[in-house]
Amino acid sequence: MEANLSRAVCRLVINPPPSCVKRIVFAAALTMTSDVAFSQSNVTLYGVLDTSIEATNTGQHVTARMDSGSLLGSQWGITGREDLGGGQFVDFKLENGFFSQNGQAADKTLAFSRQAWVGFSGGWGNVRFGRQHSPVYSNVAPMLDAFGVVGMGSGFNNFITITPRANNSIRYETPTWNGLKAQAMVSLRDSTTTPSNGVNDYFGGIEYANDGPVNGAFGIERSHTTDGAVTKAEFFGISYGIKKVRAYFAMEHATVGERLAKNLASLSARYQPTVSDYMSVGYSYVRDTTAAHNDASQIGFIYQHFLSVRTSLYASAAYLWNKKNATYTLNGATVTGIPVDYPGAPVRGVLFGMMHKF
């Protein structure tokens, strides 16, 4: 019996029937496919829901409305990383903005209006290709004032000239060395630009944040508006922290073609009495350096309380003074402010909101 079993096994191995061959090939293919599918280290679905109720007086009347994105743009996205071994990785991010008060897409013409990039990372830093945030927007700006340059309370947010993101971009970020980090990004022209080849915009940023009390950041932007004008902007900020208080000073110089030239300065402070609470106050002034002298200034306040790591409540208020024919108003992170009733009108507003991250 043992001899018969041995001969059967030999025939199966040496000359297997066609049906058996198909099963073996299918099993091998399934095994290889499974290895590929599970080589991805992680893929994460994430998002932000930021909804607030605002009441703003724009000079002659009060407007009440529900906003989305006062502090952080409401968004959802997918991010992932594949481990290539040896400390090298492939990274990607797909991110879309939307309005939490009605569910509409922030930009109906794009599947991923905020970011869509792929790249490599390792001990040498990271490089990314696609639609992505500019270094000035994502790295430099949050270090410029106590509000993180978001919300109606931040005068720096309401007066700043900045390009948040760019298509066709190549971005490199260095590793952090003793608290120092830098980024550089260029965006390439395409069929929507004239000419349609070459470099369209470039950005750069340097930040310093160590265990000591002093932090600082510097950024530069050279970009083109949709009508072809060149935006030139330089940003600088420094902060000093003592225990639960951090004070900020920041400046921006910006020009947009021949139609805009301004200098912006801001003083602000952030106080965090507990791990669950923080408040910020600030004053900002923008000087129009053209012959029009359409200057403006603002004071602002925000208080935020964290119910958990992911959920917080916040309240903010601001008063903005426009001079001559200035038309500045109170904006959010991704909220377009209500236009003033007439040039030079003062603007004051309050809002209450809730933010949840998942």
Say if CB 173 and CB 183 are below 8 A apart: yes
Q: Which range has the worst mean pLDDT, 112-126, 191-205, 237-251? A: 191-205
The first and second tokens of residue 50, run together, are: 């930021």
Buried b (16+ CB within 10 A) or exposed e, 143-163: bbbbbbbbbbbbbbbbbbbbb
Percent of residues, the chain, with pLDDT higher than 90: 83
- Residue 15 pLDDT: 54
303 confidence band (pLDDT: 50, 70, 90): very high
Model confidence pLDDT, tens digit, residues 110-156:
999 999 999 999 999 999 999 999 999 999 999 999 999 999 999 99
Supply the pTM of this predicted model: 0.85
d(CA 119, CA 115): 13
Quickly tell me which residue has 């949050």 as its tokens. 142
- Residue 193 pLDDT: 81
Average pLDDT score over residue span 188-215 = 91
5 confidence band (pLDDT: 50, 70, 90): very low
Say if CB 60 and CB 342 are below 8 A apart: yes
Average pLDDT score over residue span 325-333 = 97
- Residue 35 pLDDT: 46
The first and second tokens of residue 11, run together, are: 């025939």
Alpha helices in the chain (DSSP H): 2-14, 18-37, 135, 155-159
Residue among 270, 260, 341 nearest 300 (CA): 270
6 confidence band (pLDDT: 50, 70, 90): very low
- Residue 24 pLDDT: 41
Residue type, 164: P
Cis-peptide, bond into residue 195, ω within 30° of zero: yes
Across the strands, what pairs with 255?
Answer: 232, 261
- Residue 36 pLDDT: 44
- Residue 3 pLDDT: 47
Most confident of the ranges 7-21, 22-36, 312-326: 312-326
Average pLDDT score over residue span 301-318 = 98
d(CA 40, CA 36): 8
Average pLDDT score over residue span 74-92 = 97
DSSP SS3 for 293: coil
